Amino acid sequence: MAKNGILLQMKNITKRFGKVTALSNVNLEVEQGEVHALVGENGAGKSTLMNVLSGIYPYGSYEGEIVYDGEICKFSDIKHSEAKGIVIIHQELALVPFLSIAENLFLGNEITAGSSKNVVDWSKTYQRAKELLNMVGLHEDPRTLIKDIGVGKQQLVEIAKAISKNCRLLILDEPTASLNETDSKALLDLIAKFRDQGMTSIIISHKLNEISYIANSITVIRDGSTIETLDNSNHDVSEDRIIQGMVGRALTDRFPKRDTKPSDEVLMEIKNWTVYHPLNRERKVCDNVNIEIKKGEVVGLSGLMGAGRTELAKSVFGKSYGVNISGQIFINGKEVHLNSVQDGINNGVAYVTEDRKGDGLLLSSPISINTTLARLEKVSNHNILDKDKEVIVAEDYRKQLRTKCSSVYQNVGNLSGGNQQKVLLAKWMFADPDILILDEPTRGIDVGAKYEIYCIINELVAKGKAVLMISSELPEILGMCDRIYVMNEGKIVAQMPKSEASQESIMSAILRSSAKK
């Protein structure tokens, strides 16, 4: 047991990347058996600090001292820290798509048969995998391949993988970013259960209501420095108080007011849209869906994880998901056939994916290349790319979105998750679409940056463009959308104007439709 109940002390941690100082004399103290939250704006240094702690940035690459369980630690790599009982779950998923859930859970830590260390005991592996999946509330066959489950379910696999190890300090970087509110609360309650059993956790999250709910202590980091640590043992620290520490001022309104009203003119209509699962061709993932979006309107698409929202969006955007797709799409009253992503772009449709790492960005390429990728012809002369024009465009969007980076020549993979999201949004804004489908557009983004993105959405619809917003955060749906469709098990089960919408009415619509089964 650590002296005086303190499990971890990080003292005067300074970390530099070339001339950029990411962390400057940061101090963190975590007590045994607590949930300690780490909050701050995108690029504040939260993930960098945890990478120092877990050995991803090894001893010698930073200044300062780590004292864990009363012992000075000089971790050389992540295996070194795991051997001490420190396990980190990263914001970006680290699973092997063509291996099964069970194989991913025990990758590098296989359950072997008897005295042989080279033969996997598959019976015990699947049995233990099932137990772990039940713990995190994921009801999937352990033999299912990772590529065949959604991002939200993959996050649960990551958490199950972490708790399978004998960890005393669990670090969770945006663990609920891919989950809806119901599943998020179940996960937070699971973390609380671990806490009651003596496990210590550090949680990074931009969902401040969750921080208030789960954390015992809250440390605020701003611009690479420690600002303050708040005592939340009574769970009475308000979201506004946390925001004040993060941004240095009060944020009076989370959702900017929209002065313009939607037109009566329908810009996009989706009629009788049916999509089948690409692997299980008898399973409908979208069942006779009908949606219309008017000019100057933000339409919300709400539903639980697995409702079919992302599948709908991807299938509409150039049939990039699903098989045996039927139905019609009308833009400005004229039927269009979007048989490829290029067809979608050419017809003024853009899709900001929920999976920025897998589908949205080239992580090993600079911001400048990623920003112009969807419409290269706009920065080309006679099919020859104008690199100067590309850089000017990227710099313009960097300023508009306040993307934190050393320059637009920086590789996207080296940005924080929230700043990667801004580059993804810039990519599709540059495509200048009339209809923008946003799939979890503010996932992993701090409150200040969310506000900036909300303002940009308002600017787009003020110009007569239309936005279809998919979000698992009900306050975001309610705060930003003019009209809301509720989706459950592949079907649209309700439609309501903003004036009639509430968290209760949305959840009631989902529950009523499920009860009819």
CATH, residue 140: 3.40.50.300
Give yes or no: residues 334 and 232 share one domain. no
The pLDDT score that the predictor gives to residue 1 is: 40
- The helix (H) or strand (E) run that includes residue 46 is helix 46-53
Co-location of 275 and 321 in the same domain:
yes
> Distance of CA 391 to CAs 137, 169, 399, 416, 420, Å?
46, 43, 12, 21, 17
pLDDT at 122 over 80: yes
Give the model's pLDDT for residue 116: 66
Q: For residue 60, tell me if it sits in a domain.
A: yes
| 198 and 323 belong to one structural domain | no
In a domain, 339, yes or no: yes
pLDDT single digits (tens) 321-335: 999 999 999 999 999
Q: What is the pLDDT of residue 338?
A: 95
Give the residue ranges of DSSP H helices in 54-139: 78-83, 101-105, 122-135
- 339/109: higher pLDDT: 339
| pLDDT of the residue at 250 | 63
Report the pLDDT averaged over residues 418-422: 86
What predicted TM-score, i.e. pTM, was given to this entire model?
A: 0.71
Q: Which residue has the higher pLDDT, 43 or 387?
A: 387
Say whether both 304 and 240 belong to one domain: no
Q: How many domains, the chain?
A: 2
32 has pLDDT over 90: yes
Tell me: do 8 and 91 sit in the same domain.
yes
Residues 58 and 107 in one domain: yes
Q: Which residue has the higher pLDDT, 249 or 235?
A: 235
**Does 369 map to a domain?**
no
Q: Where are the beta strands (DSSP E) in 254-302?
A: 266-276, 284-294, 298-302
pLDDT at 4 over 60: no
Cβ neighbours of residue 287 closer than 8 Å, sequence gap 6 or more:
274, 308, 489, 490, 491
Q: Same domain, yes or no, for 65 and 211? A: yes
Reply yes or no on whether the pLDDT at 221 is more than 50: yes
Q: What pLDDT was estimated at residue 251?
A: 63
Grade residue 516 by pLDDT with cuts at 50, 70 and 90.
low
Torsion over CA of 126, 186, 355 and 98, rounded to 10 degrees? 0
Average pLDDT over residues 10-31: 92
| Confidence (pLDDT) at 254 | 80
d(C-alpha 161, C-alpha 157), whole Å: 6
Same-domain pairing of 25 and 120? yes
Q: Are residues 137 and 236 in the same domain?
A: yes
Q: β-strand 35-39 against 200-204: which pairing, if any?
A: parallel
Specify if 423 maps to a domain: no
366 domain residue, yes or no: no
495 belongs to a structural domain: yes
Domain span at 36: 3-247
Instruction: Please determine, for residue 42, whether its predicted confidence score (pLDDT) is greater than 80.
Output: no
Q: Is there a single domain that holds both residue 70 and residue 167?
A: yes
Overall average pLDDT of the 425-435 stretch: 93
Same-domain check for residues 238 and 312 = no
Residue 332 in domain: yes
198: pLDDT strictly greater than 80: yes
Would you say residue 3 has pLDDT above 50?
A: no
* Any domain includes 479: yes
CA dihedral 362, 365, 367, 373 (to 10 degrees): -60
What pLDDT sits at residue 2? 46
**Can you give the pLDDT at residue 166?**
77
Same domain, yes or no, for 165 and 303?
no
Residue 504, pLDDT > 60, answer yes
